[in-house]
Amino acid sequence: MAVKTILSYPGASHILTAQSEAIQMNDPQIKEIIQDIKDTLYATPNGVGLAAPQIGYLKRIFVLNKDYIVKDLEENSLLLKSAGQMLVFINPKIIAEKGEVFEEEGCLSVPGEFINIKRAKQVRVRAYSEQGMQFYEKFKGLASRAIQQEIDHLNGLLILNHKKA
């Protein structure tokens, strides 16, 4: 339970470019990983989202700070009603995408780089909550973009991988 150092490219590229493993919901380490991601994200100004590999855990979890993306959730969103500022996504998967949007994007693990990246405008995601409940939700705007970047992290991809040659 601690604020961790956010790993950055190129120093920690061996971790940041690795594939993260699916979580077993009975994994005794889950609680600690989630708390560390939350604590670190909370302590990071302008931190919209943070994925487990960014603090050294190669596990398929990421967290979004609800404060930045509340307007990008659906009206009847269960996440909107959930208590707490931090939204936890375990074993997340994008199951549908809609539209395209081209925008400048930065990443806490690639300091100083801002890259124009084409992303899906909206995504529908399936994931497990911190309580182990499966949920399906649609996201737009910054939430959609952040989720796509966080899932890239779980697959060992950075914003640099989207850079046009």
Cross-strand partners of 117? 103
Residue 107 engages Zn ion in binding (rule: CB under 5 A): yes
Mark the segment that binds Zn ion (CB under 5 A) among 26-34, 105-113, 119-127, 136-144. 105-113
Cross-strand partners of 102? 118
**Type of residue found at 89:** F
Residue 50 engages Zn ion in binding (rule: CB under 5 A): no
Residue 162: CB minimum distance to Zn ion, A: 11
Contacts of 38 (CB under 8 A, 6+ apart): 63, 86, 88
**Type of residue found at 67:** D
Q: Return the residue matching tokens 């375990």.
A: 90
- Number of C-alpha atoms within 13 angstroms, CB side, residue 67? 9
Residue 26: CB minimum distance to Zn ion, A: 28
Closest CB to Zn ion among 72 and 152?
152
Closest CB to Zn ion among 65 and 149?
149
Closest CB to Zn ion among 73 and 147?
147
Q: Which residues are catalytic?
A: 150
Contacts of 30 (CB under 8 A, 6+ apart): 23, 59, 61, 90
Q: How far is 72 from 27, CA to CA, in rounded Å?
A: 31
CB atoms within 10 A of CB 18: 13
x/- mask, Zn ion, residues 137-156, rule CB under 5 A, reads: ------------x-------
x/- mask, Zn ion, residues 5-44, rule CB under 5 A, reads: ----------------------------------------
Q: Return the residue matching tokens 């084409």.
A: 118
Residue 147: CB minimum distance to Zn ion, A: 11
Residue 132: CB minimum distance to Zn ion, A: 26
Residues forming contacts to Zn ion in the complex (CB under 5 A) are 107, 149
